Structures are given as structure tokens and as C-alpha cells.
Structure 1
Amino acid sequence: MSSTETSAPRRRLSREDRLRQLLDVAWQLVREEGTEALTLGRVAEMAGVTKPVVYDHFITRAGLLAALYKDFDERQNALMDAALEASEASLEGRAWVIASAYVDCVLLQGREIPGVIAALTGAPELETLKREYEMIFLAKCRDVLAPFAASGDITLASLRAMLGAAEALSHAAASGEISPGDAQEELLETIKAMVNRRRSGEIKINP
């Protein structure tokens, strides 16, 4: 290298941009090597940064898993909110938004999100976090669908059943077991059936 050649200075990322980089690297690691390979040290190695940089953002592996789930949840909510705003104010329109947005979001993360969810379930504090995000999602679905419910509201048990179907169908689509379209259509029919069912003594969830 001649004396006139200089190397370009490396741009220092903002904290927000660095977090986004580390999350993207972590998703890539889970996709390529599985959730068991996910460690803060491995993320640092793949991102080309020192371990303290990664520890500063997540502190522990549990913190990294929580951040990944939050990232997934925020994407899911953003997709659904935008679609709801543009959708027809009918049961068919609202139910289709929930069904399509849920499946689409899981497909965006490919096969990574089931592993992250499984890891979350394995630790009590992370299971609590997962349930908190689930309750927010279920409350949103209840608010959107309740105006069309035959009984005037939707039970928590029904919403939990809907979520179970959503997870199973979207993960089956992500693995290639069924097509995304079939997953969305089946989830749509499940949601409509739930809303149209008449029940007594319903248990409500707080917004």
C-alpha cells in the first residue's frame, strides 16, 4: 500500500442501529444454526464486534431471546395495525386481517420463530414475557372482533383456542407442510366460527 492510500474510516453505529444489526445477526444465527447455537459470544463474532458490545445490549442470553420475541411481536403488530386500518369494517374483513397478518409475520421469520418461542417457554421469566405479549395480542383481537360476536363478546378460552390454531397453522406453513394460503384460509374460518358461536357465562379479559 502506498503512502497516499488510506483506509476508509469505519462508521460508528448509533445505539439503535447497533441493536438492529445485532438482532438481524441473531435471527440469521437462529435460522442457520438453530436456537441452541444462540449465544452472546456467537452473535458478537458474527457481527464483528466485541463481546462487551453485545452484553451491553442484552446482558444475558435470556435478554437476547426476549429482545428477539419483542422484535417479532412488534413486527406482527405493525403489520396487523396497518392492515386493520385499511380493511373493511366487517367480520370477514377483520378476521382476514388477523389470519393473514399472523401467518405472514411467521413466514417472514421462516423457521426461526418456533425455536425462539420454544426457548422462551423453557425459562419461567421468559414464559411470563411471552404470556404478557400474548395477552396484548388477544385483547386487540377481542376489541376488533367483539362488535361482530353473536353473544356480544368473546371468551378468553375461545381466544386462546384461536391463538393455538394460529401458531400451529403458521408454523406448518413455515415448514412447508401446508401452503400459506391454506393456513390463512383455515385460520380465517376458525376465527369466524369463534365469533359466531353463542356462549353463556363468558370470561372477559381486560384491555
Structure 2
Amino acid sequence: MATTSTRLPKRARREQLLDTALAIVRSQGTDGLTLVTLAEAAGVSRPIVYDHFGTRPGLLLALHRRLDERHRTAIAQALQEAAATADEVARVLSTAYFDCATDMPELSAVSAALKGNPEMEAVQHESLDNYTELMAAALLPYSGLGPETVRLRCVGVLGAGEALAAELNRGRVSTDDAVTALTGLISGGLDGRTGQRP
């Protein structure tokens, strides 16, 4: 159904559409999100939605990128406020990792809806690279290891975090225990840490 809506600049319209898409996923799950349901919920014509996203997978990929960016921004902000010790940085990273699972369950739902999509694989690799870079930069000052070794350990820790998140989602571990376990894995991998920034 075509409606008359306030004319927004393209970027602002895209943000409005993604806000609306997120609200649909929260209330109806990813199965309820299509280009048609988005147009109706946002009060815009279908061509506007198609112009922004092209296809349903295009919409889901855009939503995934947005949620992923919000999560990384929250982690970066938490790191800025963390005390300058290795254990505190490890705790902040672990807490922020699991906060995503509880505060943004839509990210997992959108990922699941895109399973098997070839573009999603590239997006997941990009996301892993971004998280690894963020984590390695935060931890490197506390380690006597070289940058590449720290990066590889971060890749391993993120794999462990994914496994712990699966346990958390199955109700087999509490959030506090998952945070403690991941914090221990991060801290244990920082050979030669100084504990304080120079």
C-alpha cells in the first residue's frame, strides 16, 4: 500500500527503515521481516524499500551490519572507560561479548536467517576481522607477545567465546560464569603482561 510519508534524505530514510526492520524482528522474528512488511510498517511505498535494499537478503545483511557495528561501538566505549589493567580489559571484553547475546538477540536471529547466503560468509569474515583487530589492539599493551601472536590468540579466544555463547543460549551456563571463563582465557593468553599501561 502506498502512503504519503515525510520526504527524508536517502541516508536518514535508510536509518529509519533499519530502525523499523529491527522493531519487526523484535516483535515477529526474522520470518516476519520482508520488504513488503517493512514498507507497510515504515509507511513508505514498496519501491522505496526495494531501492534501499533490493532483496530480502540485502535487507538482512544491512541489518546485520548495523547491529554488528553497534556492538563494536559499545565494546570500544566500554574499553575507553575501563581501568588500565590487563584483568580489567579482559573482563570488559568478555562482558561486552556476552552482553551482545543478551542485549541484541536480533543479531543471532538475523545471522541464522542468512545461513547459507554466500554474501553472509564474507560479512562474517569481515566481522571476525574487525572484532579481532579491536581485541588485539586493546590487549597488546599488556602482553610481551608480538602483534601477530596476540592477533592469533584473539582469534582463538573469539572461537571460545562463540562456544561459550552456545552454552549460554542452551541454558547450561550463567552469564556470570561465561564472562568469568572468557576473562580467564583472555588473561591466560597474555604472557609477559605488565598489568599497567606504560
Counterpart for residue 87 of structure 2: 92
What one-letter code is carried by the residue in structure 2 that aligns with 1:68? L
Would you say the 8 A contact 2:68–2:107 is kept in 1?
no
Give the corresponding residue for 1:184: 179
Larger Rg computed on CA atoms:
1
Match of 2:50?
Answer: 55
Cα distance in structure 2, aligned partners of 1:11 and 1:38: 22
Question: Which amino acid is the alignment partner of residue 60 of structure 2?
Answer: L
Aligned equivalent of 2:157: 162
Kindly indicate whether the alpha-carbon contact (under 8 Å) linking 1:107 and 1:170 is maintained by their aligned counterparts in 2.
no
Which of residues 129, 143, 152 in structure 1 aligns to 2:137?
143
**2:144–2:191 CA contact under 8 A, matched in 1:** yes
Corresponding residue for residue 64 of structure 1: 59
Name the TM-score, length of structure 2 as normaliser. Answer: 0.79
- Structure 1 residues 10 and 115, CA gap change in structure 2 (3 angstroms): closer
Whether the 8 Å CA contact 1:120–1:127 is kept in 2: the answer is: no
Are 1:75 and 1:105, in contact at CA under 8 Å, matched by a contact in 2? no
Distance 1:11 1:48 in 2: 9
- Pick one of 72, 76, 99 that aligns with 1:77: 72
1:205 maps to what in 2? none
Which residue of structure 2 lines up, in the alignment, with residue 130 of structure 1? 124
Q: 2:5, 2:53 → 1: CA distance?
A: 24
Distance in 2 (CA, whole Å) between partners of 1:10 and 1:25 is 14
8 Å CA contact 1:91, 1:148 repeated in 2: yes
How far does the alpha carbon of each residue in 1:75-98 deviate from its partner, in whole angstroms, 9 at most, with x for none? 112111212222222211211221
Give the counterpart of 1:117 among 91, 111, 115. 111
User: Could you list the per-position Cα deviations for residues 2-50 of structure 1 after superposition, in whole angstroms to 9, with x for gaps in the alignment?
Assistant: xxxxxxx964344333222221222233233333443212221222222
Shift of 1:131: 0.5
What is the aligned partner in structure 2 of residue 28 from structure 1? 23
Structure 1 counterpart of 2:188: 193
Q: Deviations over 1:132-185 (max 9, x none)?
A: 121021012112212323534435553232112323434554675543333322
Task: Extract unaligned runs of 5+ from structure 1.
Answer: 1-8, 198-207
Query: CA distance change for structure 1 residues 175 and 139 in 2, over 3 Å: closer, same or farther?
Result: same
Task: Give a deviation string over 1:109-145, Cα, whole Å, max 9, x none.
Answer: 13x2212222344111221122112102101211221
Tell me how far apart the structure 2 counterparts of residues 114 and 191 of structure 1 sit (CA, whole Å). 23
Change (3 A) 1:147 1:120: farther
Cα distance in 1, alignment partners of residues 176 and 9 from structure 2: 39
> How many positions carry a matched residue from both structures?
188
